[in-house]
Structure 1
Amino acid sequence: MTSFERWQANLGKIQLPHWDELPDLDLYVDQVVALVNDRAMGMGIAPITKSMINNYVKKGIIMAPVKKKYSRYQLAAVIMIAMLKGSFSIPSIHEGIKQVTINNYPQQAYDRFVDLMNARLHNESAAVDNQLDPVNDQLINYVVETLFNRMQAAELLKTMQETQQPRDVKKG
């Protein structure tokens, strides 16, 4: 089994948390960083830092914490941003989140993202969801496919670089 195949098999062990599985109690930024990085670790997602979260708050991408604590809503937003920042610009992520939550509760949009991503990680089909507007659901589907394909491409390239050295091209 190649390292890429092992990586793919390990994806099946990853389970992103649904809204109701996120901590009930508000968290400090260090706790948010630890929780998000722990969940994203096996997917090849770049870690998130306190500075990043502080910048997202300053730019209005996520709501400011209340008494230095972050709620479920903010935690879900940080999870989404952490996962998507390697594939999309931060302003695009912000606009996408705002768009899919215009007529729906953030919990429904977040849970749909999690359902689709978990299905993709486990190489399964996700159930049809009629709670979201069909266009919003399609956007979330495209985002998950883009994220998953980027993750696979990055991991495959890493594996290839470990096993094969590219030849230098010489002018001549």
Structure 2
Amino acid sequence: MDQVIDEVNQFLVPLTGTKITKSMINSYVKQGLVERPEKKRYSKQHLAEILVVSLMKPILSLDTIKKAIKIAVKMDPVNIAYDQFIRAFNEELGKTQTHQLKAVDYQHMAIRSLLYKLLVEDLVNQNL
């Protein structure tokens, strides 16, 4: 478990400033967001699941994340679905401008975030 936490936090902390904890991972497993480890051993898939949940948690409810993951893995094998998420995440991160922003830029980003959040929640609920 300590290795899982260290590995996930290596990517999570620089992006979000937050750390994953043992109790958070246990909660994700208990709620069905992350598959149960076999004999307390975590795989690459577990790491990917924990990372995706941790990245999306500040924006979406755990219920919405669970539904979205279910939709994604219904459309593609798990490894492909997670690879697509990471590619999309990195692509959007590369497009994000953070220098010389004006107040109106922050406003647009906040509004866009809200609209995308509402849209994702609506689409996820329509697909299940």
Tell me if TM exceeds 0.5: yes
Q: SS of 1:47's equivalent?
A: coil
CA distance in 1, matches of 2:90, 2:33: 25
Asked whether the equivalents of residues 32 and 75 of structure 1 are also in contact (C-alpha less than 8 Å), the reply is: yes
Give the residue type in structure 1 aligned to 2:20. I
State which drifts further: 38-47 or 106-115.
38-47
Asked whether the equivalents of residues 45 and 86 of structure 1 are also in contact (C-alpha less than 8 Å), the reply is: no
CA distance in 1, matches of 2:43, 2:91: 26
1:42-99 Cα offsets, whole Å, 9 max, x none, are 2124211100111111222211111111111111100101101101111111110001
Asked whether the equivalents of residues 8 and 50 of structure 2 are also in contact (C-alpha less than 8 Å), the reply is: yes
Equivalent position of 1:39 in the other structure: 11
Query: 1:2-151 counterparts in 2 under 5 A?
Result: 29-123=1-95, 146=113
1:93-139 Cα offsets, whole Å, 9 max, x none, are 11100011113101111111111111122228xxxxxxxxxxxxxxx
Residue 30 of structure 1, CA deviation: 1.1
Give the residue type in structure 2 aligned to 1:30. D
Asked whether the equivalents of residues 46 and 82 of structure 1 are also in contact (C-alpha less than 8 Å), the reply is: no
* TM score, norm. by length of structure 1: 0.53
CA distance in 1, matches of 2:12, 2:72: 23
- Across the aligned residues of Structure 1 and Structure 2, the Cα RMSD in angstroms comes to 2.3
Percent sequence identity over matched residues?
34
Asked whether the equivalents of residues 101 and 109 of structure 1 are also in contact (C-alpha less than 8 Å), the reply is: yes
CA distance in 1, matches of 2:44, 2:84: 16
Give the number of the structure whose alpha-carbon radius of gyration is greater: 1
Q: Any unmatched runs of 5+ in structure 2?
A: 97-111, 118-128
Q: Which has the higher contact order (CA 8 A, sep 6+)?
A: 1
- Between Structure 1 and Structure 2, which shows a larger proportion of helix residues? 2
Give the residue type in structure 1 aligned to 2:94. H
* TM score, norm. by length of structure 2: 0.70
Q: Tell me how many residue pairs correspond in the alignment.
A: 101
Runs of 4+ deviating beyond 4 Å: none
